[in-house]
Amino acid sequence: MALGCLMIDIQGLQIQDDEAERLLHPQVGGLILFARNYQSPAQLLALITEVRALRPELLISVDHEGGRVQRFREGFTQIPPAARLGELYDQDRADALLLARDWAWLLAAELRAFDIDLSFAPVLDLGGPLSRVIGNRALHEAPEAIAALGEAWMLGMRDAGMAAVGKHFPGHGSVAEDSHLEFPVDARALHEIEARDLQPFRQLIDAGMPGMMMAHVIYPAVDELPAGFSRAWVRELLRERYGFAGAVFTDDLSMVAATRIAEPVARVNMALEAGCDMLLLCNRPQDVADVLEVLEAPHDAEREVRLLAMRATTRLVPLHELRASARYQSTWARMQALA
């Protein structure tokens, strides 16, 4: 079955009958997991085995950056906030870049042991005290440091067979509001955003970043719509001006900053028309049901090629084998020292 354009979620530790029906819908192309879907390594493996038996080609993903955004904890390495890498970068750049690559490899390799395709990382937003939702999820406050550490992170994920997804394009670090709960607006001119916030994204595009997640932020100097609903941002700037050829993901279309735009079906169609490849619709099962009842997004061969390129590429390495490796043990020890 071809990959559809929706990435949806499930509510518990196992797939219910109505959820299985939704995962089989041709407009669905992915599943995103949350903390509520995790109890133990054995349960997670059983859940993903069930998903693969039902729909082998689905992209299975999770937000698993480290720090406060880590969905699986007990039985997994506790990943420090990304800002710890930035602190090390200020002390010893070469060492920080080596650790960033190993750090991202360990994070991705643990997820790959369970046949998970994607973790939505790294965060390429600017750090600093302004943005409450980003904070220490950011690698650094300086664009050039974020770009360097972000590239090392991307390469580490690639070492584990996982494609990186930079977020949140074109930058969420310069607005105070949390798009999960509020309606962020960044009133600066495009040249001001390009001078700082966009630098890491543009450098990572040039370095081969395979995936990008859009921000639910309005930049009125460019468009009155949030970036993930904006043809100006997705098609004209990200694709044409900056040359990004990878897969474009929306952030969750159920966040407050998205729900205020339109009702669910209209939001999905607007994001598709803007040029997004995969649309996340999470945490509101009735919205998913309503959208799947009427959505008729045509098959797009180019979109499917971009999404299929996000599938993991390595064989599954069991956790016990992974954790016996020298790279794992040395990286784990460094991470614990920074926790």
Q: Which residues carry out catalysis?
A: 180, 251
Q: Which amino acid is at 332?
A: W
Cα end-to-end distance, the chain, whole Å: 43
Angle, vertex CA 281, rays to CA 133 and CA 58, nearest 5: 115
Q: Are strands 69-70 and 64-66 parallel, antiparallel or unpaired?
A: antiparallel
Phi, psi of 24 (to 5 degrees): -85, -5
Torsion region of 327: left, alpha or beta (phi above 0 gives left; psi -120 to 50 gives alpha): alpha
Nearest residue to 246 (alpha-carbon basis) of 206, 271, 207, 212:
212
Phi, psi of 7 (to 5 degrees): -110, 120
The full DSSP string for 3-31 is --SEEE--SSSS--HHHHHHHTSTTEEEE
Please report, for residues 23, 32, 249, 276, 311, the alpha-carbon distance to residue 307 in angstroms, rounded to integers and kept in the order given: 17, 14, 10, 11, 7
Q: In this structure, are residues 241 and 157 in contact, taking their beta carbons and an 8 Å threshold?
A: no
Pairwise CA distance, residues 268 & 288, whole Å: 10
119 by Cβ neighbours in 10 Å (0-12 / 13-18 / 19+) ranks as buried
Q: Which amino acid is at 136?
A: N
Question: How many other CB atoms are found less than 10 A from the CB of residue 195?
Answer: 12
Please report, for residues 75, 97, 137, 164, 201, the alpha-carbon distance to residue 102 in angstroms, rounded to integers and kept in the order given: 19, 9, 18, 14, 21
